[in-house]
A = this chain, B = another copy of it.
Amino acid sequence: MDKVLAMPTYGGIDLGGTKIQTIVTHGDDRSVLGQARRLTPHEGGPPAVIDAMVACMSEAAASAGTDVAHLDGIGVGVPGEVDVASGSLERAPNLPEWEHPVPLASILGERLGPGVKLGNDVSVAAQAELVLGAGRGVHSLLAVFWGTGVGGGVAFEGKLWHGRGDAGEIGHMVVKQGGARCGCGRRGCMEAYAGRRSMEGKAKRLMEEGHHTDLFEIMRERGRNTLSSGVWEHALHHKDKLAERLIERAVQALGSGVASAVNLLDVELVLVGGGLGSRFGEPMLERILAAMRPHLLKDDHPPVLRMAALGDLGGAIGAALLCE
């Protein structure tokens, strides 16, 4: 694989709090030539994370039969606040010891070659769904990534809307004034009910108060140290009452928040992705729509609900889309 090919070859890095996913894509449709995945180092701070990104990107290039030096550009989706102009990751609460702004684009540029671009991880995943995934050809959409947190994206006239740079924070729409405390410190956010991290905290507190649940037992059996999407799915499958209750609470919050956004924006499509969203799949779409309906002003004319199409690779593909 070499630059002699007419279509450009781009790298994509999806930097998450848990894992780093890299890919090498080819052509306008970003077909995937190679990929690699690593755990995000939880010790060593930004230098260790950067080393892992470099190694993981090189590994994906090798699996595509090329070298990072031959890529026409590398896009990076990062879990935090990006200064696009300076290519700096300003804040990243979900990355270990990421306490100060880091000029990630220039550091990675020195080690991987020029043309490194940063973007917000959720934004790039939404862009990937819009351009190459379940939102292709759609005029307006709302993307909801339901996972550890709840992220989102909105698109109008076929283009992702960034606002002043920070649009899409659907997880922090207020669904209950004075309600549950969110990981962001605020009260009543949708994510305080539907984010997997919040749900785990609530499950722990309820268990400590004497409610029965097998959630943490299942977690240990599966060798996990958090309640992953798979753990929740397993618990539901075994009719764990507390898990069912917390999922229903999450679905109600998603329903209220998404319906609020639809009342305001009247989009034609709502895309659902993220770890929990992808795990539960199609049947969950009906539950979310049922939870939206009591709040939809035009309940006889709801938007279409559809699963995100790019799954786990969406973030890395969207990162590669930053290069054009």
Measured CB to CB, the residues of A under 8 A from B are 140, 152, 154, 156, 161-170, 172-177, 179, 184, 186-189, 252-253, 256-257, 259-261, 263-268, 294-295, 297-298, 301, 303
Q: How far is the CA of A286 from the CA of B106 in the complex (A)?
A: 41
Interchain CB contact under 8 A, A264 and B169: yes
Contact of A163 among B168, B177, B267, B294 (CB under 8 A): B267
Taking CB atoms, residues of chain B closer than 8 Å to A253 are 177
With A174-B175, A174-B259, A260-B260: A165-B297 Cβ-Cβ less than 8 Å: no
Interchain CB contact under 8 A, A187 and B297: no
Interchain CB contact under 8 A, B169 and A297: yes
Known A186-B294, A188-B256; 7 more pairs at CB < 8 Å? A156-B161, A161-B265, A166-B298, A167-B264, A173-B261, A176-B179, A186-B297
Of A167, A177, A179, A303, which is in contact with the most chain B CB atoms at under 10 Å from its CB?
A177
Q: How far is the CA of A212 from the CA of B295 in the complex (A)?
A: 34
Give the residue name and chain of the B residue nearest to A81 (CB).
Answer: B298
Interchain CB contact under 8 A, B264 and A184: no
Q: How far is the CA of A295 from the CA of B257 in the complex (A)?
A: 14
Interchain CB contact under 8 A, B265 and A174: no
Number of this chain's copies in the complex: 2
Taking CB atoms, residues of chain B closer than 8 Å to A169 are 263-264, 266, 297
Shortest A269–chain B CB gap in Å is: 10
Give the residue name and chain of the B residue nearest to A162 (CB).
Answer: B266
Contact of A174 among B170, B189, B257 (CB under 8 A): B257
Taking CB atoms, residues of chain B closer than 8 Å to A265 are 154, 161, 163, 167
Interchain CB contact under 8 A, A260 and B166: no
Q: How far is the CA of A156 from the CA of B158 in the complex (A)?
A: 13
Interchain CB contact under 8 A, A168 and B264: yes
Q: How far is the CA of A169 from the CA of B253 in the complex (A)?
A: 19
Contact of A264 among B152, B188, B301 (CB under 8 A): B152
Shortest A180–chain B CB gap in Å is: 11
Shortest A123–chain B CB gap in Å is: 11
Taking CB atoms, residues of chain B closer than 8 Å to A166 are 266, 297-298, 301
